[in-house]
Amino acid sequence: MRPRHARAVNRALVLITLGWAAAAGMATARADLVDTYVMTNASAVCATLDSYPSVAGIEGIGQAIMDDGLTPQAAGEVVTRAIVGWCPEHLPELNAFIAKWTTAGSVVA
């Protein structure tokens, strides 16, 4: 059974994944942090998913990003933007992650 903390973290990641487009309206400082993190780490996100192409891979990446000090929402945005922008071949894993944690289903084509 998954610890409650892990479930809460994963749900938080899903919420930002579902609403990542809305992040464009966030404060510049926060956007700069996420933009910088994505630009610096998108290739590592994609490489990790190349090795671990699964929901668990996405969860692990999200946890690692949070361990770097980003919020669950920012981590979800980083993961989503990296996949959409750099490795869209991993969209099925992203959609599976979303499907696991929500009833809304896929939001990324």
> What string of DSSP letters covers 6-75?
HHHHHHHHHHHHHTGGGGGGS-HHHHHHHHHHHHHHHHHHHHHHHHS-SHHHHHHHHHHHHHTT--HHHH
Spans of all domains in the chain:
4-16+27-101
Q: List pLDDT tens digits, range 25-38.
A: 444 556 689 999 99
pTM, rounded to two decimals: 0.70
Report pLDDT digits (tens) over 54-84. 999 999 999 999 999 999 999 999 999 999 9
